Amino acid sequence: MNMDLKKIAGGLILLIGVLAFILSISNNNFNFALIYLTSALIFWVSYGLILGVFDVYIFAWIISASGFLVAMAVFFMFGIEEVPYPVGAIVFHSAGFAGALGIGLFSLFPILILLHMGKENAQKRTEIGHVLPEEELAPEILSEEWEIASDDDLESGEFESG
């Protein structure tokens, strides 16, 4: 299968899962929404591992994004309630608000780990790239009986290059 087609199929799995999540949330069915999102993530990871197109960086970003989706759903379903009197009044529930903040906090971890790993790799690359030998290394001769052959000696055919 073509590499682009594999990635498109994986993206389609995620898209279907997110759409099912959003439809279930809009119908106030939080349990089924979590089932749809989680199973889509599991199918996507399995698909990527089986076909060899799994990328840890993309996985971390998708886990973070799905965590933020769940945090927003928890906030709007359990943290905010519209009350009938006075008209248009909104009541904030601390349990839903705290749950949404906790889920949002834990959703930041994969992104922070990626950013930290990227900075460490960049520092290692710059440190390795700037290391220059201070003096030119002389060729190592193991015995005093040998001497370095010139280009003319090598082209003469009388000597073998080692």
DSSP string, 57-107: HHHHHHHHHHHHHHHHHHIIIIIEEEESSSTTEEEE-HHHHHHHHHHHHHH
Q: What is the pLDDT of residues 59-78, one digit of tens each?
A: 999 999 999 999 999 999 99
Residues 42 and 60 in one domain: no
Residues 76 and 92 in one domain: yes
Residue 139 lies in a domain: no
How far apart are the C-alpha atoms of 134 and 132, rounded to whole Å?
6
Residues 50 and 60 in one domain: no
Q: What is the pLDDT of residues 130-160, one digit of tens each?
A: 555 555 666 666 666 667 777 777 777 776 6
Give 25: exposed, middle or buried? Use CB within 10 Å, 0-12, 13-18, 19+: buried
Which structural domain, as residue segments, surrounds residue 14?
1-54
Residues 66 and 115 in one domain: yes
| Side chain identity, residue 18 | V
Residue 120 lies in a domain: yes
Residues 64 and 116 in one domain: yes
Residue 162 lies in a domain: no
Task: State how many domains the chain has.
Answer: 2
In this prediction, residue 121 carries a pLDDT of 76
Residues 84 and 120 in one domain: yes
Residue 16 lies in a domain: yes
Residue 90 lies in a domain: yes
Residue 138 lies in a domain: no
Residues 122 and 63 in one domain: yes
Residues 60 and 46 in one domain: no
Residues 63 and 43 in one domain: no
Residue 103 lies in a domain: yes
Residues 87 and 66 in one domain: yes
43 pLDDT band (50/70/90 cuts)? very high
pTM of the predicted model, to two decimals? 0.70
